Structure formats: C-alpha cells, structure tokens
Amino acid sequence: MPLDDLTIRIGGEAGMGLESSGAGFARALVRGGLHVFALPDYHSRIRGGHNFFSIRIARQPLYSHLETVHLLLALDAETVRRHVDALVAGGAVVYDEQEPLPDDLRRPDVSFFPIPLSALAAEHGGAEITRNTLIFGIAAGLIGFDPAWLEEIVRDNFARKGPEVVDANLRVVAAGVAAARPFQADFPFRMPAQPGAPPRLLLNGNQAFAMGALAGGCRFVSGYPMTPGSPVLEWMAAHAAEYGVVTAQVEDEIAALCAAIGAAQAGARAMAPTSGGGFSLMVEALGLAGMTETPVVIYEAQRPGPSTGLATRTEQGDLLFVLHASQGEFPRLILAPGTIEQSFAAGWRAFNLAERYQTPVIVLSDHFLANSLRDVEPAALDFAAVTIDRGKLLSEAELDSLEGGYLRHVFTDDGISPRAIPGHPKAVFAVTSDEHDEAGHITEDAQMRRRMVEKRAHKLQTALADMHPPSRYGDPQAPLTFIGWGSTYGPLRQAVDLLNARGTQAQMLHFSDLWPIPAAEVAEMLEGAGRTVAVENNPSGQFADLLRQVTGHRVAGRILKYDGRPLSPEFILDNLKPETVSGQWRRI
Amino acid sequence: MSNVSDFASPVRPTWCTGCGNYGIWNAVKQALARLDLAPHQVMLVSGIGCGSKLPDYTHANGSLTLHGRTLPVAFGVRLANHGLKVICTHGDGDAYAEGLGHMLHAARRNIGLVDIVQDNRIYGLTKGQYSPTSDQGKVSKTSPWGALERPVNPLALALAAGATFVARSWSGDVPHLADLIVRAVQHRGYALIDVLQPCVTFNRASSYDFYRPRVYKLQEEPAYDASDRVAAMQRALEWGERIPIGIFYQTEDLPAYEEGVPALKAGPLVHQPLAPLSQAQVEKLLAENI
C-alpha cells in the first residue's frame, strides 16, 4: 500500500559510513520527488559504538522527524536490539543472514528479512564498504522507489573515485534491489518516486547558515574545531578561495574571537563559529567587542553541557549563558533560527545587525538543527531578500570631508556612532577595552563613564525595531499555545498538526529573535494565547524564565527534554498531560 | 615626510618618571617617522599593562585589547587589511604569561606583524608581582619565598617556534631600538623584539645600571651571522654578565602567512568590493545542494 509518510533507519558501528551514505540516499529520495527529514545520531568516537541515521520520507513537506520506524536496516545485531521497539506493526528489519539474530530480538508483528549483506557486497562490490550502498538498494527495492535515482547519486558521489568504484557501486545497487524482491510482498509500505517534481535542495542548518553568512558579506571566519559548530568553518574554508573569504583555524577559541574582532575593527565582516565550550573561552573577548563597539558575529551551535557534556548530541542549554556572558553590561543581539529558511536568514541578518548596532550578535543553533537534513525549495533560501547594510559606516567621501578629528564613540541620539575603519588620514581610529571618552582614549571620569554606559545601553533600545516578533503556526484562537524557540520549530509544528488532526486545538508561537525582546508586543501576544506551554530542549525552561522576566507572563506548563536527544513530536504529545501542564518538576 | 611630532597624542603618559616605556615609546615614533609612515597607515595593537597603554599615548590607529590577547587581535587586523603596518606593544606578562601560546603560533605562522615586548621582568600595573621573565628566586608580593620557576627564554622559544625575525634591544638605547623596529617593520613575516626595560618602581634589581654594562651588540661582531639559527639559539641562551642585543636571527626566505591566503591574492580584504552574490554565484551555490 502506498503510504504518505514512512521512516527508514539504518544503524551500525561508527566508522561504517552511515551518515554519508544515508545522506546520499536522502538526496536520491529528494531528486526522486519525495520530501525528507533526515537525522544522524552518532557517538563522539571514530570507530565502534552505535550510530544510526533516520530518514523520514513523505509526499508532503516535512519539518520534523518522528520516533516511529517502518524499515530498519541493521548492519549489526546491536541495531536490532536498540531499535526493534521503534518499529510500527507491519514494519520490517533487514539484517545480515550470516550474523544470526537472537530470537529474543524478534517481534511477531514485524517481518525479518535475512539477506547476506556482507557476502553480496563482497561479490558485487568487491569491498565490504559497499554494504552501505547495497542496503539502500535493498531499501529502494522494498519501498518501490525507482533505483535510477540512487544510481544517479552513486555516479555523482563516487565519480571522483574513478569509474571502477562507480561501477562496483552500481552493481551493488542492482544486487540490493534484486535481493529485496523476494521480500517485497511481506513489506506493506511503498513510497514510489514522484518524477517530474521541480528540483529541491537538501541541506542542514549549518550549511544554510553558512550560505546566508556568505551571501551577507561575511569575509572573515576564524575558529577552532568543535562539534557541532566547526562545519561552518569547514564550509567557509571550502568556499574561501572562490568567494574571497579569509578563513583561519587558530590555536583556540580565545584567539578565534579575538581575531574576528581584530578583523572587524579593521573593517571586515567577521565571524567566529563555535559550540558552548568554545564560547566559554570567548567570553572575555565578547566583552571586548561590547566595550569597543565592534560588530562581530558569533555562531554558537549548542550541545549538552556543562563541560564536555555530550559532545555529539543536542540541547538548548546555553540561552541564558550567552545572554549574560561577560563581566559588566553591554548590548548583544541573539538570534535563534528554527528552520533551514531561518538559518539562512540569520546568516545575513546577523552581519547587518552587528554593523547597524556596532555590537556582537550571537546566533544560537544546536546540534539538532545544525545536522538534520531537510529538503526545501530553492526559493526558501531567499537570496533576493539579502541586503548588505553596513549601518553608520562612513563612506570614503564622508571621511574625506571630516574636519577636526574623528571621534569613534561620539555621542548620538540613538547611541550609535559613525564608524570609520582604520586607514583614512582624516579618521585615525582608537579603541580600548578600558572605559574611554568619545575619542577612544582611556578615562576614569565618573560623568563620562555614566554617559558611555548609557550610550551603549541605548543601542539595545534602538535595536528593538529590527527584531522579528514570534511567528505563529496554527489557529490564533486555539486555547493551547506552545511556546518554542530555535530548533524546536519543526517538532512543535508537527505536534500542532497532530493535535489538530485529533481534534485538540493548538497553535505555537515560535521565537527566532531572542534578544532584545519587544516586551510590550510580546506580552500582548501572550495575553491572548490561552494556556501557554513552553517546550524547550533544556532542563529548566530558560526561555520561559526569560519571558517571565521581560513580560511578566507565566507559562502554564513546561515540557522539557534534556537527555541529549532532540525534542520529538511524540515526546511533546506524550508529555502534554494535565499533571505535566500544571507542572510539578519546577517552579511554574 | 612624516615627523615624530605627527604621532603626538593629546593624552599624557601616566608612566613613572624614569620608566623604560618612555624610551620604547620614543623609539616607536622615531621608527615610524624614519619609515615615513603616517598615523593612519599603522595600527598599534596592545594588551593590558603599563606598556600596553602606549597606543593611547600615540596618535595612530590603535586598539587596546585584553591582557594576553594582543597577538590574536593583531592577526585579525593584519588579515583584514595587510596594507596596514601592524605593530604590537605589550609587556612580559601579556606576551609571555597569558599570551605565550599565541606568540608561538604567531611565530610559526609567520604572520606579518611586529611584536614589541616591553620586558621589565615584573608586573608593574598590578604593583609588583613576579613575571614569567623574573629570575628564579625573585622575591615579590606573590613570591615572598622567592619565585620557584625558572624564567622563560622568549628568544629561544621564538626560535624554536620558527620565528623568522628574533631580536632584543633595551630601552636605554633608543637609537638601537628604533633601528630594530625599522627593520622589523620591513621584515617579511613575524618579527619579535624583546625589549629589556627597567621598572624603576617595582623592579629595582633590573635597573639601567644593571643593564648598561652587560649589554653588547651582536651586530658589532663582524663574525656574527644572523642567518644561522643554531648560532642564534646559542646567543639566546646567553644571560648574565654579558647580555646580547640586536638581531639574533632573521630570514626572509619564508613567505608571510598572509601571502598564502587565497582570498588575499586580490589585495587587502577590506579594499575588496563587498556586494551581494551574483545570480551565477547563487545558482552555483544552490546546485551544490540539489
């Protein structure tokens, strides 16, 4: 029977290449006209352990994964052990018939398809690694997906390894399809390709953000490798020569942000991507950017802390940290995109905001958003909307006509001083981490200190005009309103759909601009929102606390997940019980 | 032609009378004038400490940063605009304690900047704690029993890290120091100048009278070959009754870091046009993800 929504999961040991081959299969599905949401789950190790990769496939656009699985592709018995309970009734497990499966792993309502995976890979591909291609050939065969799309991906992905590798993998695809044939009758779910669909993109949050940043004029990126932020540095490095971006891997995150600040002071649009641990090292430099009114962007892809925490997993635990990090007070802007589209927009908006308000902008992502793949139409990356607005940056002509010296921190009505970049004879540039006067010279004068504190703080008020209000999904009259931010957009949206389909009216308010918050406007939205339930991927409900601080609104309940795994629609619904909504876990 | 007076700032130094920083400050300004550089063509980057206030007292582009982080900020400045002469001035605590790691990486990268370390072998601004270059046994507020550590040897470290210009001067010989700064600015890549400097308030042991009879100039020895890294290492290890100053080591056979950065082939980054992506570029980027 054709199904409009099914999930395939492949599992095995780290080092088996699941993620790259899974991403290849997801791309084949998208080229075949289907919609996907794909999610890697891996350990912080290069070999061994248990990794899996889930691909939800549908005929309509997807925003989230689901926990249920229809087809489990098991490269080892451990995969069956861990995931057999996730299968729907009628689902199936493909496993290697040469590795006996213990009876206690079997379920009567699930089919088990023994296929000699390693032997077929060796026979047709000549190498065990081609098992990854084989198993997706099997998957294509079982769901009735035209393997031509998979063959096209094989040609694209293996072309640089030479025609022999391409041919071996093509033979393996065919072998996989053939091996699936005897079992097809016992697998009830079909997801045939939808040929003729317009081309769609498949990408994750890191890639979308990096592309947005590049489009927005980011020309300097300095970083130090740390999961899950460093793929942004890698993406920029891969595009550096072609697009004129300076990228530098430096000795630590302290140097990373300091270098970005130096580049920004010199006039480049500069960014330092990292994760929470790296951001911890950047904190002193964050204050330097605030004090010197330097426009700089920090991309912080969160993972569970404290300390090393769960290196390859997800959490939204750094919100209040990045909001308050540094001694003293200064304005900072925080964006938290929730989707591919918003990640792209955050990429270019961050640089405009940084230069308009001459202060650091932090883009908060997390491992879930950074790594989950979703297909979008090309127009979803709205390049046409991209602007490069450098704020009060003095033009060459304005600099030429400057008289009487340049004051980097001159007092203005909105707190923002016209910015020169070093190199013009009429605008010698001086900044210091010390408190300073308008010229950028060190001062300890009490009156000047007070005025400079107020000048900097004023910028945050000015910036309110640029902050997007939360987006709403669902019926504005619905009596139940989920409140989310950042990566929870997809699971929340799916939960709203599921609830509405079941007759429970729900909506969501999703915040992608987190600081500053237009308090009056948001308070009014919350006022009419009925029963509000904050849904966050952290143990305390940090955003709910922040909302209460800013607007006075107390959410009626909190659904919190902090096991290092992303929120799922099922988790949200399972925890939407009266006793949870009224909340005992923590102050409500 | 530029003059020393072009670099005069309205801000008066707060250094003690007799402080070695005056000599270093004068040498910096003299060198800039001799190089015929104008204030807007230079970026002075410093950290935190008495000596790090030098940019505040000098009319030139300046960025006073964080303690220990002078070099990474300067690295970013240089990569964003390698048309600027980037000159760092910071003390021994800044350079060799909090910032020591950064120095080794700057040296091995050979990033094109001048690193002037105002080495008074004591913490002055925080009033008298021992520093990384203080002698073992140095009695100070935080080492009343005498410092247990042996001092770092910045020149030997820089040589080991692959620095391409390693020099030492002292604040009591302004012409010598100014000459080294001129050569360092002209050098291709990273140039370290460790400047021995008295602290008349908190380190009376390292006084003008201590240094004057001990320092000798390497470049006055006809046989000294500054292209010989091993010889340079030997001299870097010399300390005591005789203290060598001058250029220990220099090579211009290696490219500066910025010469290898693909994006900088088209000139200084900040002078390259900043425009939205072309339609062709957008289509290419989108095609990568189909």
Chain segment A530-563, per-residue pLDDT in tens: 899 999 999 999 999 999 999 999 999 999 999 9
Q: Which helix (H) or strand (E) covers residue A482, if one does? A: strand A480-485
pLDDT value at residue A49 = 84
Angle at A521 between CA A509 and CA A526, to 5 degrees: 45
Establish if A445 touches chain B: CB-CB under 8 angstroms: no
- Provide the shortest C-alpha distance from residue B70 to chain A (in Å): 8
SS3 percent helix, strand, coil of chain B, rounded to 5, is 40, 20, 40
- Per-residue pLDDT, B188: 98
User: Quick check: A144 and A181 in contact, CB under 8 A?
Assistant: no
- Cα separation, B107 vs B105, in Å, equals 5
Could you give the percent of chain B with pLDDT greater than 70? 100
* Nearest chain A CA: its distance from B62 CA (Å): 5
Q: Count how many Cα atoms sit within 13 Å of the Cα of residue B149 in the half-sphere of its side chain.
A: 12
Closest CA to A268 of A219, A221, A232, A233: A219
CB A230 within 8 A of CB A271: no
Mean pLDDT of A107-111: 97
Phi, then psi, of A271 in degrees rounded to 5 = -145, 150
**Angle A565-A571-A577 (CA atoms, 0-180°, nearest 5)?**
145
Position A581 scores a pLDDT of: 46
- B70-80 helix and A253-265 helix, angle to the nearest 10 degrees: 50
Does the structure show a pLDDT above 90 at A47? no
Considering only residues 49 to 68 of chain B, which have any Cβ-Cβ distance to chain A shorter than 8 Å? 53, 55-56, 59-66
CB B18 within 8 A of CB B199: no
Q: Is the pLDDT of residue A1 over 60?
A: no
The CATH topology of domain A5-199 is Pyruvate-ferredoxin Oxidoreductase; domain 3 (3.40.920)
Rounded to the nearest angstrom, the minimum Cα separation between A383 and chain B is: 7
What does the DSSP assignment read for A313-356? S---TTHHHHHH-SSS----EEE---SHHHHHHHHHHHHHHHHH
Interval A215-248: pLDDT, tens: 999 999 999 999 999 999 999 999 999 999 999 9
Chain A residues with beta carbon closer than 8 angstroms to that of B40: 422-428
Domains A204-385 and A471-582 share a fold: yes
B76 vs A258, A390, A440: nearest CB? A258
Structure confidence at residue A583 as a pLDDT band (50, 70, 90): very low
Looking at domain B4-262, its CATH architecture is 3-Layer(aba) Sandwich (3.40)
In DSSP notation, A185-249 reads GG---B----TTPPP-EEEEHHHHHHHHHHHTT--EEEE---TTTHHHHHHHHHHHHHHT-EEEE
| Four-way CATH pick for A471-582: 3.90.600.10, 3.40.50.300, 3.40.50.720, 3.40.50.920 | 3.40.50.920
Give, for A300, the enclosing helix (H) or strand (E). strand A297-302
Nearest to A266 among B48, B53, B80 (CB): B80
Quick one: average pLDDT of B195-202? 94
Using CA atoms, how far apart are residues B235 and B247, in angstroms rounded to an integer? 10
CA distance A133 to A170: 9
Query: B 171-200 residues with CB below 8 A of A?
Result: none
Beta-carbon contacts of residue A303 (< 8 Å; ≥ 6 apart): A227, A228, A275, A276, A309, A310, A311, A312, A313, A314, A315, A366, A367
Average pLDDT over residues B156-162: 98
**Percent of chain A as helix, strand, coil, to the nearest 5:** 45, 20, 35
Chain B residues with CB under 8 Å of A427 CB are 40
Which residues of A fall within a CB distance of 8 Å from B45? 262
- The CA-CA-CA angle for residues B91, A246, A365, to 5°, reads 95
Whether A425 contacts chain B with CB within 8 A = yes
Residue burial A505-530, b: 16+ Cβ < 10 Å; e: rest: ebbbbbbbbbbbbbeeebeebbeebb
What would the two tokens of residue B188 be?
A: 């291709």
Find, in chain A, the residue whose alpha carbon is nearest to that of B78.
Answer: A263
pLDDT in the model for residue A578: 65
Residue B75 confidence (pLDDT) above 90: yes
Q: What is the pLDDT of residues A354-382, one digit of tens each?
A: 999 999 999 999 999 999 999 999 999 99
Residues written for chain B: 290
Determine contact, residues A477/A529, Cβ cutoff 8 Å.
no
d(CA B72, CA A23): 37
For chain B, give every domain's residue range. Answer: 4-262
Shortest CA gap A42–chain B (Å): 23
Mutant choice from A30, A236, A251, A437 vs B, greatest count of B C-beta within 10 A: A251
**To the nearest whole number, what is the mean pLDDT of chain A?**
95
Taking a C-beta distance cutoff of 8 angstroms, is the pair B80, A270 a contact? yes
- Residue A15: per-residue pLDDT: 78
Q: How far is CA A519 from the centre of its chain?
A: 26
Measured distance CA(B45)–CA(B36) in Å, rounded = 19
A408 touches chain B (CB under 8 A): no
Q: Average pLDDT, stretch B247-270?
A: 98
Q: Which residues of B touch A269 (CB under 8 A)?
A: 274
Contact by Cβ (8 Å): B67, B93: yes
How many Cβ pairs within 8 Å bridge chains A and B? Answer: 196
- Residue A580: pLDDT band (50, 70, 90) is very low
- Interface residue B272 vs chain A (CB under 8 A): yes
Instruction: Write down the pTM of the prediction.
Output: 0.97
The residue type at A190? R
pLDDT tens-digit map of A489-528: 999 999 999 999 998 899 999 999 999 999 999 999 998 8
Query: Above 70 in pLDDT, residue A587?
Result: no
Say if residue A516 is preceded by a cis peptide, omega within 30 of 0. yes
pLDDT in tens, A201-218: 999 999 999 999 999 999
The per-residue pLDDT for range A116-163, each reduced to its tens digit, is 999 999 999 988 889 999 999 999 999 999 999 999 999 999 999 999
Task: Look at the block and give the residue holding tokens 């703080």.
Answer: A457
Interface contact A431-B62, CB threshold 8 A: yes
Q: What ipTM is given for this predicted complex?
A: 0.98
Q: Tell if the CB–CB gap between A386 and B276 is shorter than 8 Å.
A: yes
Chain A interface, mutation test: which of B48, B53, B59, B65, most A Cβ atoms within 10 Å? B65
Interface test with A, best of B41, B64, B84, B105 (most A CBs within 10 A): B64
Strand partners, A532: A481
Domain A204-385 sits in CATH at 3.40.50.970
User: A226: closest CA among A178, A262, A279, A190?
Assistant: A279
pLDDT in tens, A272-310: 999 999 999 999 999 999 999 999 999 999 999 999 999
Interface residue A38 vs chain B (CB under 8 A) = no
Q: Are A427 and B40 within 8 A, CB to CB? A: yes
Using an 8 Å CB-CB cutoff, list chain A residues near B74.
Answer: 262
Report DSSP state, residue A408: T
> B100-109 and B70-80 helices cross at what angle (nearest 10)?
30
Residues A26 and A8 sit within 8 Å (Cβ to Cβ): no
Whether residue A446 is predicted with pLDDT greater than 50 in this model: the reply is: yes
pLDDT band for position A45 (cuts 50, 70, 90): confident
Q: Which two tokens stand for residue A183?
A: 């079992």
Write down the pLDDT at residue A19: 87
DSSP state of A442: B
Query: How close, in Å, is residue A545 to chain B by CA atoms?
Result: 33
Mean of per-residue pLDDT scores for chain B: 97
Tens of pLDDT, residue by residue over A448-466, are 999 999 999 999 999 999 9
CB-based contact B275 A200, cutoff 8 Å: no
Confidence at residue A217, expressed as pLDDT on a 0 to 100 scale: 98
SS3 per-residue string spanning A507-558: EEEEECEEECCCHHHHHHHHHCCCEEEEEECCCCCHHHHHHHHHHCCCCCEE
Question: Taking residues B86-111, what's their average pLDDT?
Answer: 98
pLDDT at A44: 80
Closest by Cβ to A425, choosing from B38, B83, B269: B38
Spell out the domain ranges in chain A. 5-199, 204-385, 396-465, 471-582
Instruction: Please determine, for residue A584, whether its predicted confidence score (pLDDT) is greater than 50.
Output: no
Cis? peptide before A228, omega within 30° of 0: yes
